Structure 1
Amino acid sequence: MSANKVDVSVVIPIYNCESFLEEAIKSVLNQNIKCIELILVNDGSTDRSALICEKYVVEHAHIHYFYQSNSGVSVARNKGLLEATGSYVFFLDADDTMENTFLKNSFDIAISSQSDIVVVGAHSCSRFPNIMALPTWGMLLKREFLQQYPEVRFPVGIQPCEDGLFSHQLLALTTQISLSPNSSYYYRQHDDQNHNIINQNSDKVLDQIPIWFNILKNFYTKYNLHKSHALHLALFIEHEPFELRYLKMSLNNSQRERLFGLIRVFMNDKVLPFLTENDKKKLSFLFRYFLSANTYQDFEEFYRKCEDKKIRKIKLKLFLLKFFPFSKKKTLRLQSKIGAKNN
C-alpha cells in the first residue's frame, strides 16, 4: 500500500462541542492504524470549537478542516464524505471516542472480506442478519460503494432518524456485509445532544415522519425492492416510527392517533402486501397487534395490559429474591425497571 493512500477517512461533524471535541480528535490520533485522515466539518459553531479545530490542523497534516454556516448534521456529514479520500469512511460524533484498535480491527475485516459495509460493535453485530438500520458509529463504509449510489446520502433537514434512513438504504443495496464485534466505541450521553432536544419537540418529529416515508417509498420504487426487501422495510418501520417514536416518546392522545394513522397507512400500502406469512412472524407480537388494532385506543388498552403484566412479573421476582440468594445488583436492576415503567 503506497504511503499516500488513505485507508480510512474519519469524518467528525461539529456543532458547539468544545467540551468534548479534543477527546474525540485525540481518540482518532491515537488509532493504531497509520494511513488515516481526519475531516473536521464545523457546522457554524458559536463556541470555541473552531479554535480547537484550527489548532489541530496546524499540528497535523492529515487533519482537514472545513467550515459551513449552520446547515445541520446531515449537510456536515455529506460534506465530509465529499472531501474524503480513504478507501473506507467512518463517521465519528464530536462528543464520542473510540478505543485505539477500533479502526484497524474494522478495516482489517473490511479488506479481508472486501466488504461494502462492516457492522461495528457487539450490540449491532448481535442483530445480524436482520439489521434494519445502524447508527453512524456502527458502520465502516466502503467509499467506492457509496460512490456507486450518490443519491443515498444523509437526508437534509431530517433529525432524528437521518442515520437510520441513510444506513437502511445502504444495507438494502448490498450483501457484502461483515461483522466487527470486538471494536469498542464510547458513546457519550448528555442533555445537550441534538436528538434529546429534538425528541422533546414531539410535533416536529411527527411532522418529519411523512418525509421519512416518502424517502423510503421513492428508494424502494427506484430499485424495485418492495418484494425482495419487504421484511427489511417492515423491521425498520417497527423499530424507528413505532418503537422509538410511538412507544418511547411522550405523546398526547392526538399525537398518538396521528402517528398510529401514519404508520398504518404506510404499512398497509407499501409493506404488508409484500410480506410473506413467515416474514410476518418475524415482527414482534406487539407490532403485529398494533397493525391489526381498529383504533389507537384499542392498542393503548392492549399495551397497558402488557405493561401491567410485565410489572407484576418483576414484582414477583423481587418477592422471590427474599428467599433466594440473588445478588444485590440484580435486585437494584429489577427495582429500576419498575421505576422506569411507572414514570
Structure 2
Amino acid sequence: MSRDQNKVPVSVIIPVYNVEKFLSEAIESILNQTLTDFELILINDGSTDRSPEICKDYQKKDSRIKYFSQNNSGVSIARNLGLFHATGEYVFFMDSDDTLDHDFINTSYKCAQMQDSDLVIVGEEFCSRLPNVPALPTCAQFLRRNFLEKYYDVRFPENIQPCEDGLFSHQLIALTKKIGTNFQGLYHYRLHENQNHLRINEDSEKVLQQIPIWLTVLEDFYRKYNLYETHAYHLALFMEHEPFEFRYLNIPFTKEQKERLFNIIRDFTDKNILPWLHKDDYLILSRPFVYFLSCNNSCEFDKFYSKYVRNKCFQKKIRLLLIKFIPFGKIRRELRRTVSKKYSR
C-alpha cells in the first residue's frame, strides 16, 4: 500500500539528539493537540543519552508515533529522513526541546486548507514580515507535502549549520506564490545553554567557513530555476538577513574575519544580484545594507555603522521620552511598540 493511501492531515517531524531533559514535554505537546489525526515522526540522530528509550516508550503507547534511528549525521539529514517517511498532507518540522500551543496544528492546518497554501507562515512575528520574507525558521513553516515532493531537489542542505532552515525556506518561498498565514500559531521556544545555534555562533571561524557553502547552494538553485532576473530582490533580502545582519553585524568577528566576510558578501552580490536589481528594490533593503554594498572595505562600513547606531539610539530615546507625555495608556503602548519595531532595524 502506498504512502498516500495511508495519508493523514499532518506529519510532525522531530529530530532527536541528546534531549532527555526536554523530550517528553515536546512529545506531550504534540499528543495533546486539538487536532488528533496526525502522525508524529521521531528521528533519533545517534543520541547517547536516554532519548531513544523515551521515544520507544511513547511509540508503544501511541500508534500515531513512528520511530526511526540513524547514526549521528546532523539535523538536516534527520529532517530529510523524516520527510521521506511522512504521509501527511502537510508537514511541520519541530525541534525536540520546544513545545507547541495545544491548537497549533489545528489552526495551521485550517489556514492551509482555507488559503490553499503550499507554505503557511506561522506566528504573528513572522506573518508580519510579509510581503518581504527572505527566510524562515522551521517553527514558522507549515508545508504542503506534494509541494515538497514536486521540488524533490530542495531539501535541508546536509552538513550545514547554522542557516540550514534559512536556505531551505528561502528556496521554497521563491518557488510558490501560494503562501498563507496563521497569526494564531503559538510556538514555545525554549532557551537553554546547550542549544546548537548558540554553540555554533560562538565559533566565528566555523560560521565564516560555512557561508561560501551557503552561497554555492543558492547559486546552483537560482541558476537551475533561472530566477536571477525575477527574484534578485528576494536573494538580496536573504543576503541582508543571513550573512549580513545575523552574522556580520552580530557575531564578534576579528577585523581580518570581517574583511573576509565583507569580500564574500560583496563578491556574491556584485555577481549575482546587482546586475538584476531594480531601483525600487533598494527601497526594500535597510539603509545599512545599501551602504554596505557601496563601501570599499569593512573598515569604511564599520565607521558608518557605529555612527548610524548612535544616531538611532538617540532618536529612539527621544521618541520614547515624548510618548511618556501622552495621557492615554493604550495609545502609549501601541506607539512604544511601533517605535521599537521601527528602530530594531
| TM-score, normalization by structure 2 | 0.91
2:39 is aligned with 1:40? no
Q: Which amino acid aligns with 2:190?
A: R
1:190 Cα offset (Å)? 1.4
Q: Which residue of 2 aligns with 1:139?
A: 141
Q: Which amino acid aligns with 1:141?
A: L
1:300 Cα offset (Å)? 0.5
Cα deviations across residues 175-232 of structure 1 (Å, max 9, x unaligned)? 1111111111111111110000000000100101001010000000000000111111
Partners of 2:328 and 2:314 in 1: how far apart?
19
SS of residue paired to 2:229: coil
Call closer, same or farther: CA 1:308–1:65 in 2, change over 3 Å: same
SS of residue paired to 1:85: coil
Q: Which residue of 1 aligns with 2:127?
A: 125
1:306 Cα offset (Å)? 1.1
Contact 1:5 1:35 in 2 (8 A): no
Query: Equivalent pairs: percent with the same residue?
Result: 53
Q: Which residue of 2 aligns with 1:58?
A: 60
Q: Which amino acid aligns with 1:244?
A: F
1:273 Cα offset (Å)? 0.5
Partners of 1:319 and 1:220 in 2: how far apart?
47
Call closer, same or farther: CA 1:277–1:317 in 2, change over 3 Å: closer
2:295 is aligned with 1:272? no
Partners of 2:171 and 2:291 in 1: how far apart?
27
Cα deviations across residues 221-273 of structure 1 (Å, max 9, x unaligned)? 00000011111110000000000000011111011000000000000000011
Contact 1:109 1:178 in 2 (8 A): yes
Which of these residues, 255, 274, 285, is aligned with residue 253 of structure 1?
A: 255
SS of residue paired to 1:263: helix
Partners of 2:5 and 2:231 in 1: how far apart?
41
SS of residue paired to 1:292: coil
| TM-score, normalization by structure 1 | 0.92
SS of residue paired to 1:46: coil
Q: Which residue of 2 aligns with 1:221?
A: 223
Q: Which residue of 1 aligns with 2:12?
A: 10
Partners of 1:109 and 1:326 in 2: how far apart?
35
Call closer, same or farther: CA 1:34–1:292 in 2, change over 3 Å: same
Partners of 2:125 and 2:201 in 1: how far apart?
23
1:316 Cα offset (Å)? 4.7
Cα deviations across residues 291-331 of structure 1 (Å, max 9, x unaligned)? 0011111100000111222333455568779988899x99x
Q: Which residue of 2 aligns with 1:194?
A: 196
Q: How many residues align?
A: 332
1:3 Cα offset (Å)? 10
Contact 1:11 1:40 in 2 (8 A): yes
Q: Which amino acid aligns with 2:303?
A: E
SS of residue paired to 1:34: coil
Cα deviations across residues 64-115 of structure 1 (Å, max 9, x unaligned)? 1111111000011001000101111000100111111111111111122221
Contact 1:27 1:98 in 2 (8 A): yes
Partners of 1:137 and 1:315 in 2: how far apart?
33
Q: Which residue of 1 aligns with 2:307?
A: 305
Call closer, same or farther: CA 1:323–1:39 in 2, change over 3 Å: closer
Q: Which residue of 1 aligns with 2:291?
A: 289
Q: Which residue of 2 aligns with 1:114?
A: 116
Q: Which residue of 2 aligns with 1:158?
A: 160
The answer to which of 103-112 and 75-84 deviates more is: 103-112
Call closer, same or farther: CA 1:290–1:68 in 2, change over 3 Å: same
Partners of 2:275 and 2:224 in 1: how far apart?
18
Which of these residues, 184, 198, 202, is aligned with residue 182 of structure 1?
A: 184
Structure 2: gaps (5+ residues) = none
Partners of 1:109 and 1:319 in 2: how far apart?
40
Partners of 2:235 and 2:5 in 1: how far apart?
42
Partners of 1:13 and 1:46 in 2: how far apart?
14
Contact 1:96 1:187 in 2 (8 A): yes
Contact 1:118 1:139 in 2 (8 A): yes
Call closer, same or farther: CA 1:321–1:128 in 2, change over 3 Å: closer
Calculate the aligned-residue CA RMSD, in Å: 2.3
Structure 1: gaps (5+ residues) = none
Q: Which residue of 1 aligns with 2:86?
A: 84
Partners of 2:313 and 2:120 in 1: how far apart?
38
Which of these residues, 93, 97, 100, is aligned with residue 102 of structure 2?
A: 100
Partners of 1:322 and 1:32 in 2: how far apart?
42
Partners of 1:159 and 1:229 in 2: how far apart?
25
Partners of 1:182 and 1:33 in 2: how far apart?
15
